[in-house]
Structures are given as structure tokens and as C-alpha cells.
């Protein structure tokens, strides 16, 4: 699941382009339509390839840039919009700096309004200036696609380019710790409170208990929607609308975080790595009042510069941010700092520790050493990343790959196992996300099998294991887990989706009825498998075998279910009375030929009803 976010100067055609691409007008406020200007976040979606991709449309006007910051934190790819008739403008540069600070590495540049440019030389100059502006930023290598939302020029090329770029973007990881930065709150009559946002780090299910942080409110998920489609499960990286019970609309605001219990909590101190923009002009000073933007939250803060008197323009350093009110954050969250008045973007960075516990002395060596370690990554993060690259893998093979001493590696692994970020299955290690992805892959294989073979009951167990490329012990645990969760079901040795049923069309059902009647009339002297297939077709024949309606004993002998049971019961009854039976006796008992008698006896041996003793059979 992916989310695209627009960016660019006011009136460069972001919302118009989104509507041209999706057919959805992202401007939902009456004031936006009256002023022909995006003021708050807008939302749409588009199908690229075979996947629905969310789009967050942000305002470009400098007066509403803080609303823009509430929407770009959870995006996977930037649709950077520059109008061909104006070129690079002030908010073009500011939005680009924000994308760079938030490390939004994927991007496509839409050079809009090309229908208004009559001079090819002008268009070439604009592109050259744009390339110079992008140089040295996260979008330095982004493709530039000339488009016109009014005439449709370049729209298909833009869609293809967006999809190609998204395919090189890693999907959002599933760490089993779901959280959602709330960017919109509203209520619907008969449903109650609804919140929206981009889901990170895990998945939500219908009925899940959730927390609203930093307030600590508790509620339950009543409904899930992605792009107005109801879901039982919301996946990481998707735009989600969540209907909550137990929480009133007035208790929630933009910037709060909806999370699984224990995933995140409120804090008023943040330790962070920070980069000060080069074109700000003045350094970032100690004890300076700033606006902090993290997730969809905006809060006033004071800077505490650590290890230096200040941070020069274009330089990096460490900060402790003292907040005027709590925010809910986790390690690794990106943030932006702006000057409150006049509003200017100063820089941004990454949270190193969301719960430092106390205010640091600014120049203490142990504090600075710890910040260096956190900047490089904690042992848990490093070990998790190694496992994510190598999984599945045994503990003995993983630990030497971790690049740390054995004691630290063993302790770190124990911590990750306890927090269930890593799980151990049959002495093999998986990330929680990796294990869940294999469960999803299992369901996808079964669903694809149903799609390609609608008249088969399901996937044979061994074929499913082979496609998953799992050892038998691991496959058995995965399948047992999926069966227990009712994600799949088992029938006659086949694995199927719970709702799947074999359904014959009218012509097929007529052929089936005629076949079963013919098998009843034939009695013990049945037709061959080849003859049966000729009557109903290969696909219907296999379906009848899966359903147990017909029982092939070998290539020449096949019976309907009722006749098979009848002949089996006669032979068993004879054995119960006489103790032994041979082929000649079966032939006489059923008034058939030796061919059918031997087929029945060998079949009963195969299914362990009888066993052979010389030329006779006895009951097992």
C-alpha cells in the first residue's frame, strides 16, 4: 500500500492535476471552492498498476503551509508540481526543503500548465532551472513529466511514471506495532467518531482495542475503510478511515495518535538529530522558541542545543526539544521546526529518544556519547534490520551476522523476542512482519488458485507448501495459525478460503446429473476415467473428485459415491462373516469381472480397510 503527497507553490495546479488523474475533487471545503485555493488537506485515490494508491493533496499558499506539514509526513512518494508558465517560486523551494528534511526520497515532478506555454525555449529554460533547484536534494534524480490537466497532455505518461517510481519504493514495514497520525476527525450520524490518517508500523483489525495518545483515551475499532471500501484489516502504508466506539469526537484532535495499546505514549521532551537549513541565514540558538511539526501535530517548543553553543545554517547537531504540551512520538519519527513569526521553515530532523526522562546538561560527555550511539542505531534496530534482510534464519547463523559482540547480540535478541518484534518458529527466527507476510502470501496463493481453478476445492497441501518455499515444520505451524484464525479452511486435504465453494453452471450441472445417473445404471461394471472425462470435461471431473462425488480406483475403474460405499460395505460384511476374501469371491459376490474385483481389493488395501495375506484379504 502506498500514499502519494502533492507539493508545490500555490496556484500551480496541484488540486486540478489530482482531479484530472483521479476524477476526485480533493477540495472539500466551501471556502476552498470559493477562493479556488486549497486551504486544508484533501484526499483522493488512483489505481496504478493493479494497486489502489492514496493521494494527499496539500495547500501551497504560504499562509497554509502548516496545514501542508500535517499531510506530508506519511507519504511514500512526492508528486512535486511546478507550473510551466511560472517556474520555480518561493513555496516551490520551501516545499522542496521540507520533503528533503522529511527524507521523502521518492518523487516525480509534474511540469503543469504546458498548454499555456507557446515558446519551446521557455519550457526548456524552466526545466533547466528546475533541475538546478532539485540538485542536491532528495528529488535530484526525479523524472520530470510535462502535463496539462486541461487538455490531458501527458497524464497517462505521468501515471505510468508514478507507478514505475512507486515500484522501486520499499513498502511500509509491518513491525506489529500499528499507529496512525490523525489528520482529520469528524462524526457521522449513526456511526459516531471517525478519524483518518496513514497507517504505520502495523495493521489494525475490526474489533481491536486502541489508545488515543497522548491523552490515553481507550476505544475500540468499529469499522475500517480504505478509499471508501470496507476492510476487515487495514495494512501499513494505507490511508484509513477508522470508526471508533467509546471515544467522543470532541475528545480527539488532529495530531493525536491512534495506536495499539502500549505502542506509543505522550512526552514533553525529545532528544533529536537536527539539520539547519542553509538558506535560513541565522543559526539555531539555544532556548529559542520554535514550532514543532511531527506527524500531524503542531506544538510550541524550546530548543536546547546540545554539545555546541548553536547550530549554524547548513550544519547538523543535536537538540533536546522541551514541548509546551505532550506529543506522541517514537524513535525515528521525522519532524520539522519553523519560526513562529514570521513563519519560516528552519530545519528538521529525526527523533533519537522520545523519552529521555530529564533535561540534559548541554555539554556532558556521556550525554553526547549516547546521542552518537543513537544516531548510528540501537543494537535492537541493527539486529532487526539484519534479520529482515536474512530471514528466515536460525539463531546460530543470525548472531554472527549482527556485527556486535555475542553477549550484546544475545541480550538484544531476547529483548526483541520479548517485545514480539521477532518471533521464533521451530528454532527459526522471523521478524513479526516477515511471519505475517508469509501468512498473507499463503492466503494470496489460495485466492489465486481459486481464481485460476474455480472448479477445484482448493490447493493441495504439498503444492501450497512448495509455493511458499517453507520447510514442512514451518509450513505446518503457519498453516495451523492460518486455520485457527479462520483465514483459510481445510477440506478433504485441500486448503481453501472459508467462503469458497465449487459452483457448476447450468450446462455443467446437467452433465453431472447425467454422469451420476449413468454410473448408477452401470453399477459395478463402471466406465473408465477417460469415458467419464469425455462426458463432463476435465475441470468438472476434477471438481467431482475433490468433492468426493466420484471415486476413481484406477484409470479403468471409477464409481459414484453411493455405489462405492455400497460395494465397500458388501465386501466388509463378507469379511466380517468369513474372515477372508479373494478376487474370485469378490467377482462372484458382486457379479462382475476379475478386473473390477481386483481394482476394488487393491483400493481397499490402499485406504487401509483390508490388507493382503497371500492371495486373500483380511480386515485390518
What is the C-alpha to C-alpha distance for residues 540 and 504, in angstroms, rounded to an integer? 8
Partners of 209 in beta bridges: 220
CA angle, 529 then 595 then 557, to 5°: 15
Q: Are 17 and 110 in contact (CB under 8 A)?
A: yes
Query: Given this model, what pLDDT does residue 30 score?
Result: 60
Q: Which of 547, 542, 551 is nearest to 519 (CA)?
A: 551
Fold: same for 3-167 and 266-376:
no
Which SS3 state, helix, strand or coil, does residue 380 take?
helix
pLDDT of residue 9: 87
Query: How far is it, in rounded angstroms, from Cα 467 to Cα 287?
Result: 59
Per domain, the residue ranges of the chain are 3-167, 179-259, 266-376, 517-529+545-619
Low-confidence ranges of the chain (pLDDT < 50): 32
Calpha distance 181→370 (Å, rounded): 28
Residue 9 backbone phi and psi in degrees, to 5? -65, 155
Parallel, antiparallel, or unpaired: how do β-strands 209-213 and 239-245 relate? unpaired
CA distances from 320 to 83, 334, 358 (A): 39, 14, 10
Note the CATH number of domain 179-259.
2.40.30.10
**Domain range 517-529+545-619, CATH class:** mainly alpha
Q: What is the pLDDT of residue 12?
A: 86
Question: pTM value?
Answer: 0.68
For 561, other C-beta atoms within 10 Å of its C-beta total: 15
User: 544, 583, 551, 582: which is closest to 565 by C-alpha?
Assistant: 551
Q: Is 366 exposed, middle or buried (0-12, 13-18, 19+ CB in 10 A)?
A: exposed
- Whether cis (ω within 30° of 0) applies to the bond prior to 214 is yes
Reported in sequence order, the residue ranges of 541-601 that DSSP labels E, i.e. its strands, are 550-554, 557-560
d(CA 546, CA 316): 66
CA 508/CA 542 separation, integer angstroms:
13
The region, left, alpha or beta by phi > 0 then psi within -120 to 50, assigned to residue 222 is: alpha
Residues 428-443: tens digit of each pLDDT: 999 988 898 899 999 9
Tell me the CA distances in angstroms from 12 to 60, 226, 267, one per residue in order: 8, 28, 38
* DSSP conformation letters of 442-487: HHHHHHHHHHH-TTS--EEHHHHHHHHT--HHHHHHHHHHHHHTTS
Distance CA(407)–CA(405), nearest Å, equals: 6
Q: Which CATH class is domain 266-376?
A: mainly beta
Angstrom distance (rounded) from CA 43 to CA 499: 33
- The set of cell numbers assigned to 186 is 469528524
CA distances in angstroms from 284 to 298, 311, 529, 575, listed in the order given:
19, 5, 83, 95
Cell numbers placing 254: 488532529
What fold does the segment set 3-167 form as a domain?
Rossmann fold (3.40.50)
Grid cell for residue 295: 506527524
Instruction: For cell 496545514, name the residue.
Output: 67
DSSP state of 420: T
Amino acid at each position: 500500500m502506498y500514499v502519494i503527497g502533492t507539493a508545490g507553490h500555490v496556484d500551480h495546479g496541484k488540486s486540478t492535476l489530482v482531479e484530472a488523474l483521479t476524477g476526485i475533487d480533493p477540495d472539500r471545503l466551501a471556502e476552498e471552492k470559493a477562493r479556488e485555493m486549497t486551504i486544508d488537506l484533501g484526499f483522493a485515490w488512483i489505481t496504478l498498476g493493479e494497486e489502489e494508491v492514496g493521494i494527499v493533496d496539500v495547500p501551497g499558499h504560504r499562509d497554509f503551509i502548516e496545514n501542508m506539514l500535517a499531510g506530508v509526513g506519511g507519504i511514500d512518494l512526492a508528486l512535486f508540481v511546478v507550473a510551466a508558465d511560472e517556474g520555480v517560486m518561493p513555496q516551490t523551494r520551501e516545499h522542496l526543503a521540507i520533503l528533503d528534511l522529511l527524507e521523502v526520497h521518492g518523487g516525480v515532478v509534474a511540469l503543469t500548465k504546458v498548454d499555456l506555454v507557446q515558446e519551446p525555449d521557455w519550457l526548456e529554460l524552466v526545466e533547466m532551472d528546475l533541475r538546478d533547484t532539485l540538485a542536491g536534494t532528495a528529488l535530484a534524480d526525479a523524472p520530470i513529466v510535462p502535463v496539462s490537466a486541461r487538455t490531458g497532455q501527458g497524464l497517462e505518461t505521468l501515471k505510468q511514471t508514478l507507478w514505475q517510481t512507486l515500484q522501486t519504493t520499499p513498502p511500509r514495514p509491518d513491525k506489529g506495532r500499528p499507529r496512525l497520525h490523525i489528520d482529520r476527525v469528524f462524526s457521522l450520524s449513526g456511526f459516531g467518531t471517525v478519524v483518518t490518517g496513514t497507517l504505520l508500523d502495523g495493521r489494525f483489525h475490526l474489533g481491536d482495542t486502541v489508545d488515543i495518545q497522548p491523552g490515553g483515551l481507550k476505544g475500540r475499532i468499529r469499522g475500517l475503510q480504505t478509499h471508501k471500501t470496507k476492510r476487515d484489516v487495514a495494512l501499513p502504508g494505507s490511508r484509513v478511515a477508522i470508526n471508533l466506539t467509546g471515544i467522543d469526537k470532541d475528545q480527539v484532535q488532529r495530531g493525536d495518535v491512534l495506536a495499539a495499546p502500549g505502542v506509543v505514549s505522550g512526552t514533553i521532551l525529545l532528544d533529536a538529530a537536527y539539520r539547519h537549513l542553509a538558506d535560513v541565514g541565522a543559526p539555531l540558538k539555544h532556548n529559542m522558541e520554535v514550532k514543532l511539526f511531527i506527524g500531524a501535530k503542531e506544538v510550541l517548543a524550546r530548543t536546547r542545543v546540545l554539545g555546541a553553543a548553536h547550530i549554524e545554517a547548513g550544519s547538523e547537531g543535536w537538540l533536546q526539544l522541551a514541548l509546551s504540551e505532550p506529543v506522541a512520538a517514537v524513535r525515528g519519527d521525522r519532524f520539522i521546526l519553523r519560526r513562529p513569526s514570521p513563519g519560516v521553515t528552519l530545519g528538521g530532523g529525526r527523533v533519537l529518544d522520545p523519552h529521555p526522562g530529564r533535561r540534559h546538561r548541554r555539554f556532558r560527555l556521556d550525554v553526547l556519547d549516547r546521542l552518537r550511539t543513537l544516531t548510528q542505531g540501537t543494537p535492537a534496530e541493527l539486529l532487526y534490520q539484519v534479520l529482515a534482510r536474512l530471514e528466515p534464519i536460525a539463531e546460530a547463523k543470525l548472531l554472527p551476522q549482527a556485527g556486535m559482540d555475542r553477549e550484546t547480540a544475545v541480550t538484544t535478541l531476547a529483548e526483541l523476542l520479548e517485545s514480539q518484534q521477532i518471533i521464533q518458529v521451530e528454532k527459526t527466527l522471523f521478524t513479526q512482519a516477515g511471519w505475517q507476510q508469509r501468512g498473507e502470501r499463503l492466503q494470496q496463493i489460495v485466492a489465486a488458485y481459486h481464481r485460476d481453478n474455480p472448479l477445484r476445492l482448493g490447493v493441495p497441501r504439498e503444492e501450497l507448501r512448495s509455493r511458499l518455499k517453507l520447510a514442512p515444520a514451518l509450513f505446518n505451524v503457519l498453516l495451523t495459525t492460518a486455520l485457527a484464525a479462520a483465514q483459510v479452511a481445510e477440506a478433504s486435504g485441500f486448503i481453501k478460503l472459508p467462503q469458497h465453494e465449487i459452483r457448476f453452471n447450468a450446462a455443467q450441472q446437467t452433465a453431472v446429473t447425467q454422469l451420476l445417473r449413468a454410473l448408477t445404471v452401470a453399477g459395478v461394471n463402471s466406465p473408465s476415467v477417460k469415458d467419464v472425462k469425455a462426458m463432463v470435461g476435465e475441470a468438472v471431473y476434477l471438481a467431482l473428485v475433490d468433492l468426493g462425488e466420484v471415486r476413481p480406483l484406477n484409470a479403468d475403474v471409477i464409481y459414484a459415491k453411493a455405489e462405492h460405499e455400497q460395494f465397500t460395505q458388501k465386501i466388509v460384511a463378507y469379511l466380517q462373516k468369513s474372515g477372508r476374501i479373494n478376487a474370485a469371491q469378490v467377482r462372484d459376490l458382486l457379479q462382475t469381472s476379475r478386473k473390477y474385483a481386483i481394482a476394488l481389493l487393491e483400493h481397499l488395501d490402499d485406504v487401509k480397510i483390508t490388507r493382503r495375506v497371500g492371495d486373500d484379504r483380511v480386515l485390518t
